[in-house]
């Protein structure tokens, strides 16, 4: 999409109207425009129009690089300034926006800014993005976070708010070794890294909210120097795109689901109190009353935002399919976390992937010292009991007896296993009902890929997906709400230790295979 602008620059350079230095400077404005928008989570849907208009709208009588700088700084271009960039580096869930290669490039450029005398060969290095504070925070990590939590905020809420921010992310080639370990173990590994950013992390005495935010500020200083700011006073429009994103995801809440102020805040990169104030003061926000506190209770400060809205909130929630416990709290199984909210707007593309760059989509077994299947079971055994591991092996054997095959993701941090039907060689050649993950400290899970199935025949029929949901809910310990029929809910693999559950799941998988084969036969 940038080619119209780049071709214009190179053409002017070939004709001698601009030298190489100014061409590079003009390209740095394009890079900054794209990178700053990515970090600040600005949608990409108008980029084609912006860059296609460059040749016609470039100011006349102004040097080309300066004219491009001015043009991209204009009203409705939404090129974030330094203040917005700094704020979003501190608060926005960077890990959940843009493509993985874009996120990796941002971290690579930040690492290069340290100008290390022995720079890393990024083309040859097999680097992936690592969460320093892991996505699955164990008791030790939550204890550290509890020390930094603000009044009224739990360690879990603080973890959700900061885990995906840029200050908590780095590049490494030893993700599998880092995994879900306490910070002291990660320090030892990061000290040996050739990346300057990793050595700086290793120098910290602890890794909690204060350290994550301090690193975010350090990276923000470098980002401001790396990526030039837009010009001031060119008529840039004010916008509230974060709130637009919040309104969009609330409008998409499925029937029978709710979310919390903290989950919504983590999703947009804001604070729970700011979310509550916005919803209380903004009339017309669809499903605003389905945002509850973390315990599943209506906030004491809740009020309808407009006079037209009235009535008992719990009655409205019950009408929307929200169940309440005997204690009067909303059913936690119906809660959508910040990660669920991401899925809600992401569509079915890549629905078989775990969130993270390292899982990959090449499911065919590679010829490695350790096969992907071996890696999967090694990681599973590190997080689950021998009984669970044996139950999963039995599940795989039964699936193969049904005519399926097991594909494995390429991840070295957390790999995955897909129960595949169809030709071997990749998910594009078949279909799968479950993706299994060995977990990272909290035990393995089976992800039910309803979101992916919604775009694959014959499960485009919602009634078939609902029947799959009903069959899975017959397993003891499984209670997936109907509201998650458009998402990718998880089942704990430890539930398969029960023989009754293994039998029910085997029947469900046979039913799934029959539905798919009957569709192909017809």
pLDDT in tens, 293-328: 988 999 988 888 887 777 889 999 988 888 888 888
Least trusted range by pLDDT, from 42-46, 151-155, 416-420: 42-46
Three-state DSSP string of 407-456: EECCCCCCCCEEEEEECCCCHHHEECCEEEECCCCCCCEEEECHHHHCCC
Is the separation of the CB atoms in 488 and 447 below 8 Å?
yes
Q: Average pLDDT, stretch 472-485?
A: 92
Nearest to 91 by CA among 171, 162, 37: 162
Cα dihedral: 125, 126, 131, 133 (round 10):
-70
pLDDT tens digits, one per residue of 182-208: 788 888 888 888 899 999 999 999 999
Q: What does pLDDT average to over the chain?
A: 86
CA terminus-to-terminus distance, the chain: 42
Is the separation of the CB atoms in 66 and 234 below 8 Å?
no
Residues 6+ apart with CB under 8 A from 412: 128, 175, 176, 358, 375
* Token duo for residue 402: 């049904």
Rounded CA-CA distance 511/401 in Å is: 14
Rounded CA-CA distance 85/87 in Å is: 5
Rounded CA-CA distance 274/215 in Å is: 24
Rounded CA-CA distance 250/227 in Å is: 33
Is the separation of the CB atoms in 180 and 204 below 8 Å?
no
Q: Average pLDDT, stretch 480-491?
A: 89
Report pLDDT for 244: 82
Report pLDDT for 367: 41
Residues pairing with 430 in the sheet: 422
Q: Average pLDDT, stretch 141-167?
A: 92
Q: Which residue has the tokens 């009984």?
A: 387
**Rg from Cα positions in the chain:** 25
Q: Which pLDDT band, with edges at 50, 70 and 90, does 254 fall under? A: confident
Q: What is the DSSP secondary structure assignment for residue 494, as one 8-state letter? A: G
* Token duo for residue 155: 């360690």
Strands (E), 40-166: 128-131
Residues pairing with 170 in the sheet: 130
Rounded CA-CA distance 431/426 in Å is: 9
What are the Cα distances from residue 363, in Å, to 219, 374, 410? 36, 14, 7
Using DSSP, state whether 256 is helix, strand or coil: coil
- Residue 472: how many other CB atoms lie within 10 Å: 20
pLDDT at 368 > cutoff 60: no
Is the separation of the CB atoms in 508 and 467 below 8 Å?
no
pLDDT tens digits, one per residue of 80-117: 999 999 999 999 999 988 888 899 999 999 999 998 77
Domains of the chain (ranges, CATH numbers): 3-80 (no CATH), 84-226 (no CATH), 241-334 (1.10.10.10), 348-521 (no CATH)
Report pLDDT for 309: 77
pLDDT at 160 > cutoff 60: yes
Least trusted range by pLDDT, from 223-232, 377-386, 465-474: 377-386
* Token duo for residue 381: 């055994």
Cα dihedral: 434, 440, 441, 444 (round 10):
10
pLDDT tens digits, one per residue of 261-292: 999 998 888 888 889 999 988 888 999 999 99
pLDDT at 351 > cutoff 50: no
pLDDT tens digits, one per residue of 396-411: 999 999 999 998 876 5
Torsions phi, psi for 170 (to 5 deg): -150, 180
Using DSSP, state whether 491 is helix, strand or coil: strand
pLDDT at 364 > cutoff 50: no
Rounded CA-CA distance 105/107 in Å is: 5
Rounded CA-CA distance 393/398 in Å is: 9
Rounded CA-CA distance 83/491 in Å is: 42
Using DSSP, state whether 291 is helix, strand or coil: strand
Q: Which pLDDT band, with edges at 50, 70 and 90, does 239 fall under? A: very low
Q: Which pLDDT band, with edges at 50, 70 and 90, does 363 fall under? A: very low
Is the separation of the CB atoms in 378 and 369 below 8 Å?
no
Rounded CA-CA distance 456/464 in Å is: 11
Residues 6+ apart with CB under 8 A from 254: 344, 482, 483, 484, 485, 486, 487
Is the separation of the CB atoms in 403 and 514 below 8 Å?
no
């Amino acid at each position: 999409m940038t080619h119209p602008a780049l071709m214009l620059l190179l053409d002017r350079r070939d004709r001698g109207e601009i030298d190489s230095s100014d061409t590079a400077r003009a390209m740095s404005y394009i890079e900054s425009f794209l990178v700053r928008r990515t970090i600040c989570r600005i949608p990409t849907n108008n980029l084609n129009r912006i860059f296609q208009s460059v040749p016609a709208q470039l100011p006349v009588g102004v040097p080309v690089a300066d004219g491009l700088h001015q043009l991209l700084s204009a009203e409705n271009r939404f090129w974030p300034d330094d203040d917005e960039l700094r704020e979003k580096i501190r608060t926005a869930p960077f890990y959940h926006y843009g493509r993985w290669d874009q996120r990796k490039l941002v971290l690579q450029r930040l690492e290069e800014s340290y100008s290390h005398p022995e720079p890393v060969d990024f083309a040859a290095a097999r680097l992936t993005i690592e969460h320093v504070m892991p996505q699955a925070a164990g008791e030790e990590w939550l204890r550290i976070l509890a020390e930094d939590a603000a009044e009224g905020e739990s360690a879990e809420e603080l973890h959700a708010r900061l885990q995906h921010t840029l200050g908590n992310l780095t590049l490494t080639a030893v993700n599998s070794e880092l995994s879900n370990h306490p910070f002291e173990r990660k320090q030892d590994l990061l000290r040996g890294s050739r990346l300057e950013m990793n050595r700086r992390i290793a120098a910290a005495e602890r890794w909690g909210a204060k350290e994550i935010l301090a690193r975010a500020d350090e990276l923000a200083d470098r980002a401001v120097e790396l990526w030039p700011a837009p010009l001031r006073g060119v008529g840039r429009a004010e916008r509230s795109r974060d709130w637009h994103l919040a309104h969009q995801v609330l409008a998409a809440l499925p029937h029978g689901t709710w979310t919390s102020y903290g989950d919504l805040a983590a999703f947009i990169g804001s604070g729970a109190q700011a979310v509550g104030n916005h919803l209380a003061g903004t009339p017309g926000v669809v499903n605003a009353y389905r945002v509850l506190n973390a315990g599943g209770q209506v906030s004491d400060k809740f009020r309808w935002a407009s006079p037209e809205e009235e009535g008992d909130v719990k009655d409205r929630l019950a009408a929307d399919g929200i169940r309440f416990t005997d204690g009067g709290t909303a059913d936690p199984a119906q809660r959508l976390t910040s990660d669920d909210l991401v899925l809600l707007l992401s569509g079915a593309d890549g629905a078989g992937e775990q969130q993270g760059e390292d899982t990959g989509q090449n499911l065919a077994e590679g010829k490695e010292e350790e096969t992907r299947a071996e890696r999967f079971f090694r990681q599973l055994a590190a997080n689950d009991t021998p009984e669970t591991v044996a139950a999963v092996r039995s599940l795989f054997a039964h699936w193969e007896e049904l005519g399926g095959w097991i594909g494995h993701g390429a991840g070295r941090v957390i790999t995955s296993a897909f129960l595949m039907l169809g030709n071997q060689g990749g998910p594009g050649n078949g279909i799968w009902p479950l993706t299994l993950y060995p977990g990272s400290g909290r035990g393995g899970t089976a992800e039910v890929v309803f979101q992916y199935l919604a775009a694959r025949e014959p499960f485009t029929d919602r009634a078939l997906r609902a029947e799959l949901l009903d069959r899975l809910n017959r397993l003891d310990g499984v209670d997936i709400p109907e509201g998650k029929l458009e998402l990718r809910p998880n089942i704990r693999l430890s539930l398969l230790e029960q023989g009754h559950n293994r039998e029910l799941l085997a029947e469900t998988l046979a039913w799934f295979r029959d539905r798919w084969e009957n569709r192909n036969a017809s």
